[in-house]
Structure 1
Amino acid sequence: MKPAFSSPIPGSGFEVTNYKLKLKPDLTNGTISGSETILLHITESYPDSIAFSGNALVIDRANLDGLPVTPVSDADRIVFPMPRKLAKNSPVTIELTYHGRPERGFSRSVTTLYTSYFACDWMVCLQDKFSNKAAFSLELQVPAGMQTASIGKLVSKRPGPGGSEIQSWEAPRPYSSYLYGFAVGHFASVSENVGTVKLTYLSDAVDKAVLKQHFATTPEMVRFLSDKAGLPLPVTEYTQILVSGNEAQEAATYSVIGADELPKNHNDPADDWVIVHELTHEWWGNLITCETLNDFWLNEGITTFMTAAWKEYRYGHAAYDAELAVSQRRWDKIKSQGFDEPLTWSGPYPSLSIRRAIQYNKGAIFMAYLRDTLGDAAFWKGLRDYTRAHAGGTVTSIDLERAMEAASGKNLHNIFVQWVFGNGGNTARQSIYQKTK
């Protein structure tokens, strides 16, 4: 049913500050039920409604500041009518209960259920408003003895109704909604420390010995990436969950790795990418997040390049060149099909694979080009300065340009127009530059 009142773009006119959830996932049938409290504040005076990303959940009850409201949904949004006029900066609390079967982002085996990317299919949130980082806490009601993982730390366990257990998780800092997630199941578990960081490896697919072998290089990856970022791993606990299949997905403080994506042969540089790629997102993507999907290459292009940089460190320069050659071939393929756009292009992509060829692969080639152009000393200093300056926040491509210009002492205007903003994007670049001064 379409709403009778105005239907704003999800996330327009307000900013979420906190999501608090109490959920009961059902591993048997892949459904979920629970309650959610959303704290937000109004950024535009007197809206008649506010909208979140659409999903297939059934909302059983909803209150806005204690007043009952009836949200109305369509394919793209869940719209909450405002029961009273609210001025700009007014705080708002939405409380709701819901149940249903998420259409996306829920994967399960016989003993395990885990989420992947589409957080706003199993909760009410903002999927693509990357600039809105919010606090997150989650209580999971599961059968007693079952393990859970989520973002942040496990802060408590307590008995629940009917022989269940309630396990509570809390994120260490605000994150964009697409990084929320959880896993439930019976896992083999291995932990080790790298300095003050606790690394945990979980799996329902292999035993402890094999699990430890698969993730044996993670501590060295942490040290390598910390050096290149100029910051230690941004979380005190990081978990890698090994599952069957081809998953490759980062969350705020953990990642889900599919066994099919691991190297078939030990120390094979051609297949060694998934663990370091998802770990790299703890810095570029999770700690520092692009403001909008237009700048998504800052998440994925940098991370794809850093995968090549890790291979150079571990296997030698030939492995670096080989990894970049993969990105070059993927970019060349879509160029041969007549499609090539600047990294911040805002138009529609014909397919997800073409979007990835631009934002992941062309983005990685651009980072390598910057490295060759500026030299190692200036390039790595620029990346460290960019990372430190924007830790915990959101960024646009201008922020990277400024950091690289300051580190190198060079005017990179023409290079960024050519690669990032496009020959017709100079006006847009200048507009963004003025806004962020």
Structure 2
Amino acid sequence: MASAYVLAAVMLAGTTGAHAQSVALTPGEGFEVERYSVALRPDLATTSVSGTETIVVRSTSDRTMQLAFTANALRISDITVDGAPAKHSTSATASVFALPRALKKGSRATLRFRIAGTPKRGLTSLPGGIYSSYFACDWMVCLQDAPGDKAHFALDLFLPAGLASIGAGKAEPVVASTDGLTLHRWRTTRLYPAYLYAFAAGPFVQRSVTTDQGDLAYLDATGTAAKLGKAFAESPAIVAFLADKAGLPLSDRRYVQLLVPGREAQETAGFSLIGSGELDRARDDPAGGWIIAHEMAHAWWGNLVTCASWQELWLNEGIATFMVAAWKEHRWGEPAYRRELAGARQRLERAREQGFDKPLAWGGTYPSLGVRRAIQYSKGALFLDHLRTSIGDAAFWRGLRRFTRDNVGQTVTSADFERAMEQASGRDLSATFAAWVYGG
């Protein structure tokens, strides 16, 4: 996954509305989201959107007076909280709803409003279509930097007739809308963090393959009549390998790979965006490819089992990076595995040459996204290789399977992974985790 991770306290200024005031808020502070429901009308040519949104929250504070979400460029109107009118205010870093009454800890509230505008990020036009990538909280109101706050998501897409769509979770039957559009409904069957919410729509060419782990669907959004069978020839073998190592089949027994122009590389809840440029780079050296295995690995490590915070991102990205190497070992032998890890070692060394090396679960600020990836992606993969060598193959894979199956649908920390590996190996791994993961 390629994206910027930012988690910071918010100082709200320049607000509007009768109840607006300058306050210090962190998006997500004082509440958890239980459900997002969005009815969206995207303009395929301009990527502007309009629609309605409903958010159900539960207070985690004794006196929650405001709900702060990630800032975006959307216009918010017709706001109610449990049916009562409410006010909204914005800053560069927060979108804040003032509650008409305080929420006690454990109590729930339902927030409803209209949205309209052109998102600054997260939506890309295609030939006759559109797709979203990572920045869900630019085209809806949500919490972008709260991977530990997993919620249900319902998406109603109003689209021109004749288009196909993909979204998070399972699709309901397409029906005609009153305004001449067609209504595509998607509903998650599990809880997911908002950064995984996504959709795509267009005149996609599609090919499907049935496997023991679930159905694979390959969709072409490039408009170039790509040879899908050739592009995704390795996918059935990759999903079989990953499901075996996870000890679990695909969630919802279905997984979609959408081929898009450029070098996109992104997982979502239920499908992945695969840039045709990334596949082209591996055309002459299939053993050098990474994107399909990496993004598919996130179906388990990242989506099904999710890091509790970006501080623990290595549990998503380090595992996915390592699983690319493990898949290559399975497919092409140990030299391919060593080659992949050598690349990770080179990326880590470049960060060290810049004077930067931190434990995997370090909670400070990284100087750049590239350096962050060198630690949480590459060093994470190298740590897993070190752990595999230390405790042995059988214990390592048993521990990974235990970690995955014990935490289905949950958020996890490094301590959860350490516990699973200690139980699988029967060894005290505190010194190893202190050296690599926690520091000190």
Band the TM-score falls in, shorter-chain normalisation: over 0.9
TM-score, normalising length: structure 2: 0.94
Change (3 A) 1:5 1:64: farther
Q: 2:370 aligns with which of 332, 347, 353?
A: 353
Per the alignment, residue 197 of structure 2 pairs with 180
Per the alignment, residue 230 of structure 1 pairs with 247
Superposition deviation, residue 164 in structure 1:
1.1
Instruction: Say if 1:154 and 1:169, in contact at 8 Å, map to a contact too.
Output: yes
Instruction: Say if 2:30 and 2:60, in contact at 8 Å, map to a contact too.
Output: yes
Instruction: Say if 2:126 and 2:202, in contact at 8 Å, map to a contact too.
Output: no
| CA RMSD in angstroms, aligned pairs only | 1.4
Alignment of 1:251-262 (within 5 A): 251-262=268-279
- My pick for the range that moved more, 290-299 or 258-267, is 258-267
Superposition deviation, residue 6 in structure 1:
3.1
Per the alignment, residue 413 of structure 1 pairs with 430
- My pick for the range that moved more, 56-65 or 297-306, is 56-65
Superposition deviation, residue 138 in structure 1:
0.6
Per the alignment, residue 81 of structure 1 pairs with 98
Q: 1:120 aligns with which of 137, 155, 158?
A: 137
Equivalent-residue separation in structure 2 for 1:388 and 1:249 (angstroms)? 24
Q: 1:189 aligns with which of 197, 206, 215?
A: 206
Q: 2:187 aligns with which of 165, 170, 178?
A: 170
Per the alignment, residue 416 of structure 2 pairs with 399
Superposition deviation, residue 390 in structure 1:
0.5
Equivalent-residue separation in structure 2 for 1:265 and 1:64 (angstroms)? 51
Change (3 A) 1:403 1:78: same
Superposition deviation, residue 85 in structure 1:
2.4
Residue 327 (structure 2) pairs with residue 310 (structure 1): yes
Equivalent-residue separation in structure 1 for 2:333 and 2:290 (angstroms)? 15
Q: What code does the residue aligned with 1:18 have? A: R
TM-score, normalising length: structure 1: 0.94
For structure 2, the residue ranges without an aligned partner over 5 or more in a row are 1-13
Equivalent-residue separation in structure 1 for 2:226 and 2:111 (angstroms)? 46
Alignment of 1:29-428 (within 5 A): 29-195=46-212, 197-205=214-222, 210-264=227-281, 266=283, 268-423=285-440
Per the alignment, residue 10 of structure 2 pairs with none
Equivalent-residue separation in structure 1 for 2:213 and 2:302 (angstroms)? 22
Instruction: Say if 1:7 and 1:51, in contact at 8 Å, map to a contact too.
Output: no
Equivalent-residue separation in structure 2 for 1:300 and 1:265 (angstroms)? 21
Equivalent-residue separation in structure 2 for 1:265 and 1:303 (angstroms)? 18
Residue 43 (structure 2) pairs with residue 26 (structure 1): yes
Change (3 A) 1:271 1:263: farther
Instruction: Say if 2:341 and 2:382, in contact at 8 Å, map to a contact too.
Output: yes
Instruction: Say if 1:269 and 1:311, in contact at 8 Å, map to a contact too.
Output: no
Superposition deviation, residue 110 in structure 1:
3.0
Equivalent-residue separation in structure 1 for 2:144 and 2:282 (angstroms)? 37
Q: What code does the residue aligned with 2:54 have? A: T
Equivalent-residue separation in structure 2 for 1:42 and 1:6 (angstroms)? 19
Equivalent-residue separation in structure 1 for 2:391 and 2:286 (angstroms)? 27
For 1:4-30, what per-residue CA distance to the aligned partner results, in whole angstroms no more than 9, with x for missing partners? 053421111111111111000001111
Instruction: Say if 1:72 and 1:78, in contact at 8 Å, map to a contact too.
Output: yes
Superposition deviation, residue 87 in structure 1:
1.3
Change (3 A) 1:199 1:266: same
For 1:127-174, what per-residue CA distance to the aligned partner results, in whole angstroms no more than 9, with x for missing partners? 111111111111100111111111112102111134211111111211
Superposition deviation, residue 86 in structure 1:
2.1
- Aligned-residue sequence identity (percent) comes to 47
For structure 1, the residue ranges without an aligned partner over 5 or more in a row are 424-437
Change (3 A) 1:265 1:45: closer
Q: What code does the residue aligned with 1:292 have? A: S
Superposition deviation, residue 270 in structure 1:
4.5
Instruction: Say if 2:129 and 2:201, in contact at 8 Å, map to a contact too.
Output: yes
